[in-house]
Amino acid sequence: MDDVRVGLVGYGTAGAYFHAPLIDATPGLTLSAVVTRDPGRQAEVGGKYGAAAVSDVEDLWQRCDLVVVASPNRTHVTTAASALSHGLPVVVDKPLARTAEEGRELVRLARERGLMLTVFHNRRWDGDFRTVRRLMGEGRLGDVLRLESRFERWRPVPKGGWRESGTPEEVPGLLYDLGSHLVDQALQLLGPVREVYCESDVRRAGVSGDDDTFIALTHESGARSHLWASSMAARLGPRFRVLGSSAAFVKHGMDVQEERLRAGMPPDVPGFGDDEEDRWGVLGTPGDQQIVRTESGAYLDFYRGVAAALREGAAPPVDPDGAVEVLAVLEAARLSATQRIVVHLS
């Protein structure tokens, strides 16, 4: 069977450091063409991947069998809808859309056309998240009472760009960026949400998008998730702190895969997703603690799942309905922060 030809829309941070190297390393997929107008990036995609560089998405449709949308948030829906209308399956970087209703319309269009639509919620394949999920599955925490999860940075000077200073149509800020991952992971671990409370602030001069955000979720099970995304954390909290009826698990340090992708490490080399031993987490109670080796991170599994969906008819690696559920929670969080209320979803 011939490789699936992949057309990548966008070659900024997401396209260059995540999608392109992961696609290139996945058996059954070939990066065929990349939409970018930057001359330096055009030269890079040709030299590094042997892919054609095109300046407009309209030049992409005949060159590929799969479209990956890694362009700015404001373009996700229009580009994905156009690809689906041209009969092409689609991967969309998170967030899938600006609103849950836009996301539902994309899902409806994909189903009408009988085409795969999936969303790059790659943090489901973080090693620390996989470790928490395994511990919960083994019952070693008992009933989970509270999940604390953080993506924190110390970045007092803004880097610039639409993610920090874009207009509302561009969906800037951490709530829809890192918050998408935090909410998705919480839903994966603890299930549907019935109440949402959010505090979302802009702390730095010259920034329009939120850069210091806290989200509290009450799940239908009664468990609670406390989620932080911040660019103003001079001292970082634990990446995960999970409190259960039998034990707790605490893990510091970010998953290593993003750092290694940015450094140019191929994602298919042995040990790519392995955590440093000094950052393994601790499980237990005050009188009984043990070090827990971090599960290996596995971002490649997302694109392996995409290849299996297209070549073998398997389910997509991320069900788009789950991505819509994330958007519904994010919308509720924005409403909560704006009106200073608790939003009830069910």
Clarify whether residues 340 and 202 are in a common domain.
yes
Q: Which domain holds residue 74?
A: 4-120
The answer to whether residues 131 and 75 belong to one domain is: no
Residues 199, 61 share a domain? no
Among the candidates 120, 135, 167, a domain finishes at: 120
Domain's final residue, options 72, 94, 120: 120
| 310 found inside a domain | no
- Nearest CA-CA partner of 210 in 196, 228, 188: 228
pLDDT digits (tens, 9 = 90+) for 102-143: 999 999 999 999 999 999 999 999 999 999 999 999 999 999
Q: Does 256 share its domain with 132? A: yes
- Would 95 be classed as within a structural domain? yes
Give the CA dihedral 81, 84, 86, 87, nearest 10 degrees: -170
- Give the CATH number for residue 19: 3.40.50.720
Strands (DSSP E) contained in 16-141 are 29-35, 52-54, 66-69, 90-93, 117-120
* Beta-sheet pairing, 212-219 with 193-201: antiparallel
The total domain count for the chain is 2
Given this model, what pLDDT does residue 160 score? Answer: 86
Q: Are residues 106 and 182 in the same domain?
A: no
Residues 113 and 128 placed together within one structural domain of the fold: no
Give yes or no: residues 116 and 154 share one domain. Answer: no
Question: How far are the Cα atoms of 31, 57, 82, 110, 152 from residue 60, in angstroms, in the given order?
Answer: 12, 5, 11, 19, 37
Q: Would you state the pLDDT for residue 343?
A: 98
Strand order in 224-230's β-sheet? Answer: 288-292, 281-285, 248-251, 240-244, 144-152, 224-230, 212-219, 193-201, 343-344
In a domain, 239, yes or no: yes
Residue ranges in the chain whose pLDDT is less than 50: none
Q: Indicate whether 304 belongs to any domain.
A: no
Report which residue type is found at 280: W
